Homo-oligomer: A and B are copies of this chain.
């Protein structure tokens, strides 16, 4: 082989490798691994070994010392906290009371390096806001994922425990790099089979891989497991045989997985079994499980996502069911509450359980997967949504009692603080379907660690680590990310509209949807209430009264049509079409302008993105470009569908300076996408 041929072959090989590397599989962890840093440590453990290895191969600064110790300064922090001191050019020390704190410190150093952030002098003290920072996988045992838009599950139950996907470790590393320390492996609509001995063997293998990265494994359990798996007559939580079955099962689990995290339970919700089937309360059910796990340090995360078809406003029901049992839960139970009172809508007010339940630990449940925000087709950066949620003032202890402070232990010092995000991870090579959906996984981890970070900071970190350091890219693309959620709200459901999605999926618009015999609270009309007079859900004291579940003075603010934030106007009020908005427009006109603004914004995103072609690799550029085209078309679809449909009630013209609809309502009504609720 002569030199030229060798050169060509090598060139091809490197090119191929380079191209392959730009498929998004490396997420935000793209640091070169050619460094040869000096790293010393005073202890050894699998976790510390990972920290040393990460730094050795990627850290380009001065020597690093990883010091495990329990000094006074460190004892003021949470166990996962760490202190970084020194100088990037002279020498750096990372201290923590825990192995995982050192690993987090190592990732922090690498993040500083990869974002080219800050001065050489380092004096960083970090302590997480929430003790438990969990992903919830809604992954079914057959490999499908409920609300999954990035392919099938990464958990290969059919291959485990023998065959181990390299993804498990990559997953662990990615999560550790952003501080996530727990994961619920299976869907909250749980198959009892997960608790069979066969499956527990598989779970053990995953737990062993995740453990060195500081990630505990949790499982969603089916409340009827004693009956279904154990052959008991029922699963009444006050029945001793049932309690014994759970104690035995807990013992079996902990023999395999000594640091098993605990159970996540969806009970008496959307057809799932639960304690109410036996006339017992949520507290009865949760406490029974908590008692079984307590000897091992396990916890129960009991979901508050409950509602029944009936006359009561769905938005009120969780509050109605859970407030009476406030304070009746064991110390190792935490009630997991979705951010809003309905269901992960594009924009919701916060759930009134936050600031409502004072005597029970509550953990927010955020949705990272974009069930209601364009799946993995739309670029929607969720940090701004979550920040709005965290920063919402509950007024439960006067002004400043934000949702964040009611859940992170600041206001209610329970023994547990936690937060969960419904994962958007699948087996797609880029993990999340859309390259920018990775930013939501990243942002969830970063905010779970520190909800005081701004969306701007997180977007900038993620972009610099994931794409490039060039400001010509960072500045416009970051702005696009920061605007993207509000944009999606505009073209989907502005002004507090909610749940006007298609019946068969939660992707496209179907405000007209009417399925004979369907549960009213699963139909868009239930939520938008459009009629000739106006539109919106009257939740004032003259309507469903949902406003009364909030503390004063928020309650009164929301109740007043003039004081209610306009972004939530139609959530709380049925508003006349001619109602004057604060900008002087009528409600109808404003609705039209909001939808159109959404469309124009996505078109701007396309322009912004197309200008980025030279800054980044072709492969990811094209992929995102292609998704933005879909988003652009979808935005027009949403706008036309909603405006043409609501116009049949308003009877008013779309303001004539707005781009006109390009679809016929009748044709839009015929669109039936072949999309399911899992994938």
Contact = CB atoms under 8 A, between A and B. Distances in A.
Interface of A: 603, 606-607, 610-611, 613, 626, 628-629, 632-633, 653-654, 656-657, 659-664
Nearest to A609: B660
Given A607-B656, A607-B659, 13 more contacts: A603-B660, A606-B659, A606-B662, A610-B653, A610-B656, A610-B660, A611-B656, A628-B660, A629-B660, A629-B663, A629-B664, A632-B660, A633-B662
Contacts of A657: 607
9 contacts: A603-B659, A606-B659, A607-B657, A610-B654, A610-B660, A611-B656, A613-B653, A628-B660, A633-B662
A611 B163 CA distance: 66
A607 B633 CA distance: 20
A537 to B, nearest CB: 30
Given A613-B653, A653-B613, A660 B626 contact: no
Contacts of A611: 656
Contacts of A659: 603, 606-607
Most buried by B among A632, A656, A660: A660
Contacts of A660: 603, 606-607, 610, 628-629, 632
Contacts of A610: 653-654, 656, 660
A632 B656 CA distance: 16
Contacts of A632: 660, 662
Copies in the complex: 2
A607 B656 CA distance: 6
Contacts of A603: 659-660
Contact of A629 (B607, B626, B633, B662): B662
Contacts of A607: 656-657, 659-660
A632 B659 CA distance: 11
Contacts of A662: 606, 629, 632-633
A662 B656 CA distance: 24
A664 B626 contact: yes
A63 B393 CA distance: 84
A628 B662 CA distance: 8
A660 B633 CA distance: 11
A422 to B, nearest CB: 30
A661 B633 CA distance: 10
A406 to B, nearest CB: 44
Given A607-B656, A656-B607, A661 B613 contact: no
A475 to B, nearest CB: 15
Contacts of A606: 659-660, 662
A660 B657 CA distance: 21
Contacts of A664: 626, 629
A661 B610 CA distance: 10
A656 B653 CA distance: 33
A628 B661 CA distance: 10
Contacts of A628: 660
Nearest to A635: B662
A654 B653 CA distance: 35
A583 B571 CA distance: 52
A104 to B, nearest CB: 41
Nearest to A663: B629
A459 to B, nearest CB: 22
A664 B603 CA distance: 15
A662 B610 CA distance: 12
A613 B663 CA distance: 17
A637 B72 CA distance: 68
A178 B130 CA distance: 83
A247 to B, nearest CB: 57
A560 B611 CA distance: 36
Nearest to A626: B664
A663 B626 CA distance: 8
Nearest to A611: B656
A600 to B, nearest CB: 10
Contacts of A653: 610, 613
Nearest to A656: B611
Nearest to A600: B659
A629 B659 CA distance: 11
A475 B664 CA distance: 27
Nearest to A603: B659
A418 to B, nearest CB: 42
A662 B613 CA distance: 16
Nearest to A630: B662
A385 B442 CA distance: 58
A659 B602 CA distance: 10
A227 to B, nearest CB: 51
Most buried by B among A610, A633, A657: A610
Nearest to A606: B660
A351 to B, nearest CB: 37
A611 B660 CA distance: 11
Nearest to A632: B662
A511 B656 CA distance: 35
A606 B661 CA distance: 9
A657 B657 CA distance: 20
Nearest to A628: B660
Contacts of A654: 610
A660 B626 CA distance: 11
A360 to B, nearest CB: 49
Contacts of A613: 653
A402 to B, nearest CB: 39
A609 to B, nearest CB: 8
Nearest to A659: B603
